[in-house]
Amino acid sequence: MSSLLPAFAPLADRMRPRTLEEFAGQQHLVGPGRLIRKAIEADNVPSLLLWGPPGSGKTTLAKVIAHTTRRHFVSFSAVLQGVKEVRAIVEESRTRRRLEGRGTILFVDEIHRFNRSQQDAFLPHVESGDITLIGATTENPSFEVNGALLSRCRTYVLKPLSDEDIGEIIDAALRDSERGLGKEKANLAPEARETLVNYANGDARTALNALETAVAGTSAEASGEKLVSREIMREAITQRRVSFDNKGEEWYNLISALHKSLRGSDPQAGLYWLARMLDGGADPLYIARRLVRFASEDIGLADPQALLQALAAKDTCHFLGLPECNTALAQAVVYLATAPKSNRLYTAYSAAHADVEETRNDPVPLHIRNAPTHLMKGLGYGKGYQYDHDAPDSYSGQSHLPPALADREYYVPGPFGFEKDIRRRLDYWAKLKQERPKGRDDKPV
């Protein structure tokens, strides 16, 4: 594989590592003694999937594998090519294997762009060994890759590059006179370097693109050297790409982080994850819906105002939209995070639902049925019903559940917030019920 690229190729392509020694980061995969490194060095790489965020080195690692092994390397884009091209590549691979004794690595970038039936096209060729498939994806393979294909490939997870890794990549590009910016005699002011590293957010491609722009926009001094200032660097970088998407795994990761931060009574973390989602383009109404759910699931009657706060935030999102509604969402987040917590409503409904699913659906007891017609009255509908407002303390103590479930206790108030008052009320009614005399069918008289 040639390492030479046209001078006008982007810096990120020119500086792409050619060997494992040049590869930055991912030492949990390619560090000395690691399994995948041993497989690469032994030219025994199996079909695999590389899953990681943009700029973490998926394509680079695939090319390093091809360069290190004896196999022919074919790059394939799931965005631009289809199953027809796969068949042609496989035929060429078979011919090459027969005539040259060389295998073929088929690198499929953004493999998740293929639907599941299209991914089936790879299966027989991976099984037969006609190709070694290396797929790269930013999406969770568990959700986006055909299960049959997933079982035939090993999955390796690439992590976002650390700030130290990004710094090393930047320094290497500034030093390299053959492929990098060494001939520009450029240096970064410490503040500019810090700004660039922070902006990159673990993405090597983002860092090198911004570095190339900043160096090109810096005038040389009398000595011929260029010193890139923080101001120039800030002009060179575009708006920071927030790690978020509306469909993939990161969507679920962030909403889970927000929900668990609120459940953990951590308003600081709640505000941070809210900002991450909004800055990443999340629909504010989706967030509001999740807050409404949280208010009833994790707070419930420990603080009845929580649901009202969440609904008010939802209405504000409808009325104002972004960016004005962000503070209403922030208000709801802080309120929910600092409210007393209880999942007793959630567990109570779950228990009631389980009884509906698992026990007989007995008829509604006659005494609590409505009787709007003479026929229904004649059949006993409403007979024996006690109007609670006519009873002492406005409580009759009669049963309202089917007899088979008469002793069920689904809702048990918690010890915090308003549920303490509910506990006192339930205890009071239980005491009254115990003290009242009972007639036939164990119903209070």
Residue 15 within any structural domain of the chain:
no
Do both 104 and 59 map to the same domain?
Answer: yes
Q: Please give the order of strands across the beta sheet that includes 104-109.
A: 72-77, 104-109, 132-137, 48-51, 154-157
Grouping H, G, I as helix, E, B as strand and the rest as coil, residue 4 is coil
Cα(153)–Cα(107) distance, integer angstroms: 13
- Whether 188 is covered by a domain: the verdict is yes
* Full residue range of the structural domain in which residue 143 is found: 26-157
DSSP alpha helix (H) spans, 237-343: 249-263, 267-279, 284-294, 305-320, 326-338
Look at residues 207, 236, 265 and tell me which one is the last residue of a structural domain.
236
Is 422 inside a domain boundary? Answer: yes
Consecutive 10-residue runs of the chain (445 residues): their mean pLDDT?
60 89 87 88 88 87 85 78 77 84 85 81 84 87 85 89 92 92 92 91 90 91 90 80 56 88 94 90 89 96 96 93 92 95 94 90 88 87 89 87 89 92 91 71 42
Same domain, 300 and 268: yes
Q: What is the pLDDT of residue 141?
A: 87
Total domains in the fold of the chain: 4
Contact 123, 148 (CB under 8 A): yes
Query: 128 with 146, same domain?
Result: yes
pLDDT score of 126: 86
Is position 45 within any domain? yes
Residue 48: name the closest of 33, 31, 32, 29 by CA: 29
3-state secondary structure 298-324: HHHHHCCHHHHHHHHHHHHHHHHCCCC
- CA dist list (Å): 131 to 46, 67, 194: 10, 16, 43
CA gyration radius for the chain?
33
Among 303, 338, 373, where does a domain finish?
A: 338
Please report whether residue 413 resides in a domain. yes
**Which of 192, 208, 236 represents a domain boundary (last residue)?**
236
Say how far apart CA 335 and CA 333 lie, in whole Å: 6
Q: What is the pLDDT of residue 443?
A: 45
Would 3 be classed as within a structural domain? Answer: no
Crossing angle (nearest 10°) for helices 326-338 and 249-263: 50
Side chain identity at residue 296, one-letter code: S
Do 391 and 321 share a structural domain? no
The two three-digit tokens of residue 293, written as one number: 């759910």
Q: Are residues 41 and 153 in the same domain?
A: yes
Give domain status of residue 21, yes or no. Answer: no
> The domain spanning residue 150 has which CATH number?
3.40.50.300
Same domain? For 61 and 139 the reply is yes
Same domain membership, residue 176 and residue 141: no
Cα 194 to Cα 197: distance, rounded to the nearest angstrom: 5
Beta carbons of 89 and 104 less than 8 angstroms apart: yes
Q: For residue 323, is the peptide bond before it cis, meaning its omega torsion is within 30 degrees of 0? A: yes
358 inside domain: no
What is the Cα–Cα distance from 225 to 242, expressed in whole angstroms? 34
- Is residue 33 domain-shared with residue 143, that is, in the same domain? yes
* Element spanning 84, H or E: helix 83-100
pLDDT of residue 301: 94
- Same domain flag for 142 and 178: no
| Cα–chain center distance at 101 | 44
Domain containing 429 — which CATH number? 1.10.3710
User: 15 near 77, Cβ under 8 Å?
Assistant: no
Residues 168 and 266 in one domain: no
pLDDT of residue 3: 47
> What's the CATH number where 206 sits?
1.10.8.60
Q: Are residues 223 and 178 in the same domain?
A: yes
| Residues 150, 65 share a domain | yes
Residue 188 bridge partners (DSSP):
228
State the DSSP H helix or E strand holding residue 74, giving kind and residue range, or none if neither. strand 72-77
**Those residues with Cβ within 8 angstroms of residue 227's Cβ, 6 or more apart along the chain or in another chain:** 186, 187, 188, 189, 218, 221
Query: What is the CA 137 to chain-centroid distance, rounded?
Result: 15
What CATH number is given to the structural domain containing 254?
1.20.272.10
